[in-house]
Amino acid sequence: MRFFRPIHYTTRGQRPLGSAQYFLRKLSMIIVGLLFMGCSDFVEVKPPQNTLISATVFDDPATVESALANLYFDMREQGMVSGNFGLTPCMGIYADELDYYGSNTDYSQMYQHNVIAGNGLVQSWWAQAYHLIYSANDIIRGVEASKSLVGEDKQRFKGQALFVRAYMHSLLVAVYGDVPYIVTTDYLENNTVSRTPVSAVYEQIIADLNEAKDVLDGQEVASNEKIFPDKETVMALLARMYLYTGQWEMAASFSTELINAFSLEEAIERVFLKDSPETIWQLKSDADFPKNTREATQLIIQAIPGQTYALTDGLVAAFEDGDQRFDQWVSSISDSENTITLFYAHKYKADLNETASVEYSILFRLAEQLLIRAEARAYLGDIEGAQADLNRIRNRAGLPNTVANTRDALLDAILRERRVELFTEQGHRWFDLKRTGSAEAVLGALKPNWRPTDTVLPIPESELETNPNLLPQNSGY
């Protein structure tokens, strides 16, 4: 039996009493902290004080690697990418993946579609994303100006920083719509920047990624754990961006290269282990803490009452009979009286405090690429090719071949398959509903406060106050 906690819907525009403080401050390496001194929140950037420091930092490959590692640490711990407060839980409750049982005002606004421009998540995601972008731009600038770094190191560092810049912009544009595309560390320019139309943002993302792909071509991988973005990681995001922009031939081409280079993990229960052969890029856990993923801590229900999230009835019902993903990636728990049963995402199973690191947070994996190629092939009229890709995903899950045999039937089948394959992974479900024009039909019937303008979140009001060039506010806010 499924249980829903009663939700009292509030009037759109009601201001929260106060935003929760989400992020624990970390102790970062002194040299990295000095490197990014003065480049904290976007549109609040002060004149840089680190010119002499940067000149020294970019003479040493080890310190540049530390600066890049700090970016990946920040992704894991803060902002949209974080397993704590990021797209996975928050766009899960914004869409139709997760029910929310907590009392935090900002999260309740997301769940109830009462988001306002002062929402703490809306503000923190924006600020942290542009902080990472500013830092990536600082690395690009410093690496290009360095007279000590050799060619291969320069290429590797620049390629990774270009990828970070493109990746964070890809999330910003998907969440907020028109956003500034920042390619400089000039604080005066950044403080007065205007928003870039969505189509132009995607063009710049793709340009950055193609440059990153070229400079990373032939570079040695620093680790076999797939924890550093390399050429294949860049290609994975390129395939996704080409899919999102309807460039089917390019989406199919890049996904094909990855499908030929990686192996699909055939054992469902091993897909989310850190050594899975289908992982393209993942964020590594710490040697000390946390040893495993924030996602597991957020999504696994330990007791009822006490739960924060649970899978929706609709998602549970979307799994076909015999789907091994439901057996391996979904678990349930009942209260002590056995009157309430909730289902939760159990892709990541390892507790943060376990003595060994067995799971890292996966951001790109091969299954998505197969579904990207299936969709692209369907649009290109390659029905058999689309069926073959879709069937590889279905057969691994213990399901029979698809019966869809027309373009439209296949597109529907692929969207359904994406729902049960990629659930609670970095907001895929929400972005699929948005890009396919399905959000109104799906969420309009589920969310009492849904409005068509909810396909984008508001630009943070604090940013509009600081920089009026970001006006006008998104429609509906």
Distance of CA 6 to the CA centre of its chain: 29
**Cα separations (Å) of 297 from 89, 181, 301, 425?**
11, 33, 8, 14
SS3 342: strand
Q: Does domain 26-220 have CATH number 2.60.120.260?
A: no
Q: What pTM did the predictor assign?
A: 0.89
- Mean pLDDT check: name the lowest of 45-59, 103-117, 164-178, 210-224: 45-59
- Tokens 């270009």 correspond to 162
Q: pLDDT for 325-358, tens place per residue?
A: 999 999 999 999 999 999 999 999 998 778 889 9
CB atoms within 10 A of CB 55: 14
Q: Do domains 26-220 and 223-447 have the same CATH topology?
A: yes
Residue 32 pLDDT? 43
CB-count burial class (<10 Å; 0-12, 13-18, 19+) for 448: exposed
Q: pLDDT for 44-97, tens place per residue?
A: 434 334 443 456 678 899 999 999 999 999 999 999 999 999 999 999 999 999
As a 3-state breakdown, the chain gives helix, strand, coil percent values, each rounded to 5, of: 50, 5, 45
**How many Å apart are CA 427 and CA 78, to the nearest integer?**
15
From 2.60.40.1180, 3.40.50.720, 1.25.40.390, 2.40.40.20, which CATH number describes the 223-447 domain?
Answer: 1.25.40.390
Q: pLDDT for 392-430, tens place per residue?
A: 999 999 999 999 999 999 999 999 999 999 999 999 999
**How many Å apart are CA 390 and CA 407, to the nearest integer?**
13
**How many Å apart are CA 111 and CA 98, to the nearest integer?**
9
- Tokens 């703490």 correspond to 120
Domain boundaries, the chain: 26-220, 223-447
Per-residue pLDDT band for 42 (boundaries 50, 70, 90) equals: very low
